[in-house]
Amino acid sequence: MQNNIFRILALGDIVGKAGLAALKAGLPQLKKRVGADITVVNGENASEPNGLNVEDARLIFASGADIITGGNHTLRHKDMLAFLDETRSVLRPANYPPLCPGRGCAVATCASGLRVLVVNVMGQVFMQQCDNPFVCAQTLLNEAAGSYDIAVCDIHAEATSEKQAFALAFDGRFAAVFGTHTHVPTADAQILPGGTGYITDLGMCGVRRGTVLGVEKEAIIKRFTTGVSDRFERAQAGEAVLDCALFEYDAARKICVSATQMTEII
């Protein structure tokens, strides 16, 4: 942190082996270039056929992530169930059922000494059943009061309206709110009226060109044109990208002063 500016780097959903390779190749240099104080990566599509396994979680950390957030595929791999309980820096949505393994928030202490509360919630619109993310986030912030200096949130959701409403509901309480899940980066990085940095969706880490959300196009087109579903294959070859956003937070004024969407070509 320099001149009271704390830099939060958030990366969109990692998609398969190509996304993991791009992260390993590009994240260390990206973090250094932007001066990231904390790096949050959504890993819920990193492993095959989706979800996240322990081996890939460790690779994401080795590549430079401080916190890994999740979403609707978080529990797909059985080896993650115990790992979620054991590892505080791997999150699943906090509004999953109460008996679900793991946790939906964590406090990371950065080199500057600032304590960052990272919250992970999932939307309800067009998604699997979960508790209300608004009520859940409010409860978490209240319960964690006094244990953190800065709070950020990954809202893993389909509907743009739900993400926008969520960010506005917590404007001024989170330093940054960033959406994940759609794999398509949005062009609305901004500072909300109360000082929260926001973007509706970060995008993805993986192969974009010639794919549908990082998946080989043939099976997707077949499903749309014929109604027949084939196994989705993650794209392995082609130019990979790291979609991300950088939020600059003024720790003295307690507001976000910059929100920038970025796409790194690997």
Residues marked active site are found at 73
Write out the chain in H/E/C secondary structure. CECCEEEEEEECEECHHHHHHHHHHHHHHHHHHHCCCEEEEECCCCCCCCCCCHHHHHHHHHHCCCEEECCCCCCCCCHHHHHHHHCCCECCCCCCCCCCCCCCEEEEECCCCCEEEEEEEECCCCCCCCCCHHHHHHHHHHHHCCCCCEEEEEEECCCHHHHHHHHHHCECCECEEEEECCCCCCCCCEECCCCCEEECCCCEEEECCCEECCEEHHHHHHHHHHCCCCCCCECCCCCEEEEEEEEEEECCCCEEEEEEEEEEEC
